[in-house]
Amino acid sequence: MKSRGLLLQTLVPCVTLLVFVLLAGCQSVDQKVHYELRVTEAVVEADLPEDGPGTEEIAVRITWSADADGLVGNFSNPADTTAAVLWDEATISFDGGEPVPILSAAPHPNPDLPQPPTIIPRYGQVIVGMLPGDAAEWEWMANRAMGGSWHPTSSLFGLVFDPEQSTSERRQLAETAVGRKMMIELPIHTGSRRLTHIYDLRVTAVEMRPSVR
């Protein structure tokens, strides 16, 4: 009986390791395009109050990242009051062109309704994906009562990446975006005060990062 128990104790870890290896082998590792950005920011407040904290003290901080599909903003609220991003008034333009609406990729009830603001709690943090309005389509959830979300119809700079391309070919194509410029305007209410955040984002380099699927 002792030898049988010892055999089972030996086999179980081996079987577990084998299953893990098989599952890992079923995953494919892809290389995804990520753009490195140089960010210049300005925050404008039209009606500065006579008293209270200064604009820079309450302004939401945004850390930007970008890949082939769109933009991601990490919003951090330093103020002792709630902040709200007003998506229906937000715009993005490319290389000095005409601004187009910028869409939040967060789920919401209906594409024909105003986009709900993203609420950032006081001293809180929220991460939101964003898409240019002229390069997005609406997709409903399986249960339409739950709403849906916007998804990209093309890559961020209109580049056409083919799934059959090699990593080096995708990188070479992505590098044609180096030097491209995006200008983003985001109105944000912080408490009762309205601040307009203006960002100049310039692509400085391309990095290929592993993406397991």
Q: Is 164:81 a contact under the CB 8 Å cutoff?
A: no
Q: Are strands 181-190 and 125-132 parallel, antiparallel or unpaired?
A: unpaired
Backbone torsions φ then ψ of 156, nearest 5 degrees: -55, -40
Sequence-distant (≥ 6) Cβ neighbours of residue 17 within 8 angstroms: none
Q: Is the pTM of this model over 0.95?
A: no
Q: Is 28:210 a contact under the CB 8 Å cutoff?
A: no
Chain-centre distance of CA 175, in angstroms? 20
83, with CB counted inside 10 A (0-12, 13-18, 19+), is buried
pLDDT for residue 24? 43
Q: Is 141:150 a contact under the CB 8 Å cutoff?
A: no
Strand, helix or coil at 92?
strand
Q: Please write the tens of the pLDDT for every residue from 94-151.
A: 999 999 999 999 999 999 999 999 999 999 999 999 999 999 999 999 999 999 999 9
Q: What percentage of the chain has pLDDT greater than the value 70?
A: 85
Angle at 142 between CA 137 and CA 143, to 5 degrees: 110
> How does residue 80 score in pLDDT terms, banded at 50, 70 and 90?
very high
